[in-house]
Amino acid sequence: MVTKEALNEFLSTQFKQSRCTVEEINAERAVIRYRITEADLRPGGTVSGPVMFLVADCALYVAILGRIGIVPLAVTTNMNINFLRKPAADRDIIGECRLIKLGKLLAIGEVLVYSDGQEEPVAHATGTYAIPPKRD
Amino acid sequence: MVTKEALNEFLSTQFKQSRCTVEEINAERAVIRYRITEADLRPGGTVSGPVMFLVADCALYVAILGRIGIVPLAVTTNMNINFLRKPAADRDIIGECRLIKLGKLLAIGEVLVYSDGQEEPVAHATGTYAIPPKRD
Amino acid sequence: MVTKEALNEFLSTQFKQSRCTVEEINAERAVIRYRITEADLRPGGTVSGPVMFLVADCALYVAILGRIGIVPLAVTTNMNINFLRKPAADRDIIGECRLIKLGKLLAIGEVLVYSDGQEEPVAHATGTYAIPPKRD
Amino acid sequence: MVTKEALNEFLSTQFKQSRCTVEEINAERAVIRYRITEADLRPGGTVSGPVMFLVADCALYVAILGRIGIVPLAVTTNMNINFLRKPAADRDIIGECRLIKLGKLLAIGEVLVYSDGQEEPVAHATGTYAIPPKRD
């Protein structure tokens, strides 16, 4: 497994504007935190849908890189997301990813998205990444 | 139909940070433009997935509001997006939405997402919005 | 909770051609079994995709009915399915559903589909049912 | 393009139980017909969801084979389907597929599903097939 520290180092240098940090990475799952700012909020005091999508996408990316090593060229090919409840405006967004399949060319995982500290998820996503072939 | 001007007015006051503007709205389709800035780019000179999701989501929202009137409480319940090609880093992102079904409670549409001026789409999405019941 | 026996009685009278039987139903999950016959097989000795879809759809239906009672008018509105591995031709198909959200109007669940006795799933699905409003 | 006759020949020999026939195949789209029988109906006089899934899956398969030639090993990897209206019980089901992307490894298309002769679609699907690499 790639360490949490190595993944955070990678995210911060590659995605300077990213506010995602890895909280946990192991064979079972990846957990990331997204720090909410004013710019992420929608009228009515809720977090926008694209932010929840971003968290789901990032959690899946981290889960895959944790298993196969840091491969910057992995790209999302499909993401299906269901929005379940209104997220809280004053809490970070947490994404928890479990991989369903890790193949040679495609990896598939599911992500539960939460408002930090709340029990019920605000969104559920299933996504696919294409993994670039190894160059020897 | 709600006019393009009314929709742009609504988007700019409700979503101050939005960079989406409506280019076309009629019974057939809605077209929106998203102005790309540095913050939207990923390493390797491409537009991030969450930006394409945002454009798909916004185009569907505009297509629905154009038909039913400006109802701020409509919310996305599901979005399925396929990423097809790498978007250009130096072109705006365009979203073209056609509604598939406009029911009383749910509206479903599909969106083709383009790099401005290019023929082949960079993403395709299908999404569902829940429409709040009318209060009389 | 509705009992396993009541659900099987309902499935057998309403869907005479159904080969789905409920194996387990509780607050956590629903498990169903689909008995494979010659007609379900594809060239190359595998089970067809529509059969896996049917199992996912049925497992979600059973999970919902187990919680809300037998409401024949609940209908699928969306299903997203990822096919992961080739199912075995000589084993029944098992669907295990966990509900993600049970709202008043919509219920969402995820289903893992297996070839009976094998550890790795052959498909993963996420689906939504619309629940008819209660008549008082 | 592969001809309609060659595709129908392939479907009838490979999938003996198939009731899908190709009605139209060209660079723009593929149209298939599914002959409804008693076994496809649900209580309340409607066609079951798995039948609509089967039609979407078959229409996409035919659209791809029409373009790349008859490659029996192409397999569905993802299908997302929205059910829009109740199909008629006494009409065949028609699937119309347009390809969105035809890549070397993946092909993506969308399918509108109709009750024969009716204007409004009963379902809309977007699906992905994995195409086996060419052996030279």
Tell whether D104 is covered by a domain.
Answer: yes
User: Long-range contacts: D19-23, Cβ < 8 Å, 24+?
Assistant: D20/D54, D20/D55, D20/D58, D20/D62, D22/D62, D23/D94
For B99, nearest residue in chain D (alpha carbons): D124
Q: Using a CB-CB distance cutoff of 8 angstroms, which residues of chain C are in contact with residue D79? A: 49, 53, 80-81
Closest CA to C90 of C17, C35, C30, C49: C35
Distance from C-alpha of A34 to C-alpha of A50, rounded to nearest angstrom: 12
Per-residue model confidence (pLDDT) at position D124: 98
Inform me whether the C-beta atom of residue B57 falls under 8 Å from chain A C-beta atoms. Answer: yes
CB A50 within 8 A of CB A91: no
Tell whether A135 is covered by a domain.
Answer: no
Q: Which domain holds residue C24?
A: 4-130
B to C CB pairs, distance under 8 Å: 9
CB A75 within 8 A of CB A129: yes
Inform me whether the C-beta atom of residue C77 falls under 8 Å from chain B C-beta atoms. Answer: yes
- Interchain pair B77, A81: CB under 8 A: no
- Interchain pair D128, A80: CB under 8 A: no
Q: Using a CB-CB distance cutoff of 8 angstroms, which residues of chain D are in contact with residue C53? A: 49-50, 53-54, 79
Q: Out of A50, A72, A82, name the one closest to residue B50 (CB).
A: A50
Tell whether B55 is covered by a domain.
Answer: yes
Closest CA to B20 of B8, B30, B29: B8
CATH number at residue C13: 3.10.129.10
Q: What's the mean pLDDT when you consider all of chain D?
A: 92
> What does the DSSP 8-state code read for residue A72?
T
User: Distance from C122 to chain D by nearest Cα, in Å?
Assistant: 11
pTM, to two decimals: 0.95
Return the higher-pLDDT residue of B72 and C56: C56
CB C67 within 8 A of CB C1: yes
Inform me whether the C-beta atom of residue D73 falls under 8 Å from chain A C-beta atoms. Answer: no
Q: Using a CB-CB distance cutoff of 8 angstroms, which residues of chain D are in contact with residue B81? A: none
Per-residue model confidence (pLDDT) at position C44: 77
Domain tally, chain D: 1
Closest CA to C3 of C41, C30, C38: C30
Ramachandran sector of residue B117 (left: φ over 0; alpha: ψ -120 to 50; beta: rest): left
Query: Would you place residue C93 in the very low, low, confident or very high pLDDT band (cuts 50, 70, 90)?
Result: very high
Where does residue D24 rank: exposed (0-12), middle (13-18), buried (19+ CB within 10 A)?
Answer: middle
3-state secondary structure of D52: helix
Tell whether C136 is covered by a domain.
Answer: no
Q: What's the mean pLDDT when you consider all of chain A?
A: 92
- Taking only the tens place, the pLDDT of each residue in A29-84 is 999 999 998 888 887 788 999 999 999 999 999 999 999 999 878 899 999 999 99
- Taking only the tens place, the pLDDT of each residue in D33-72 is 999 988 888 877 889 999 999 999 999 999 999 999 998 7
Tell whether B135 is covered by a domain.
Answer: no
Tell whether A122 is covered by a domain.
Answer: yes
Query: Would you place residue C18 in the very low, low, confident or very high pLDDT band (cuts 50, 70, 90)?
Result: confident
3-state secondary structure of A135: coil
Q: Which amino acid is located at A46 in the chain?
A: T
Tell whether A126 is covered by a domain.
Answer: yes
The order of strands in the sheet holding C106-115 is: C20-25, C30-34, C93-102, C106-115, C123-130, C75-83, D75-83, D123-130, D106-115, D93-102, D30-34, D20-25
Per-residue model confidence (pLDDT) at position C131: 92
User: Distance from C81 to chain D by nearest Cα, in Å?
Assistant: 5
Tell whether C135 is covered by a domain.
Answer: no
Per-residue model confidence (pLDDT) at position D135: 54
Q: Using a CB-CB distance cutoff of 8 angstroms, which residues of chain B are in contact with residue C106? A: 77
Which is it for strands D20-25 and A106-115: parallel, antiparallel or unpaired? unpaired
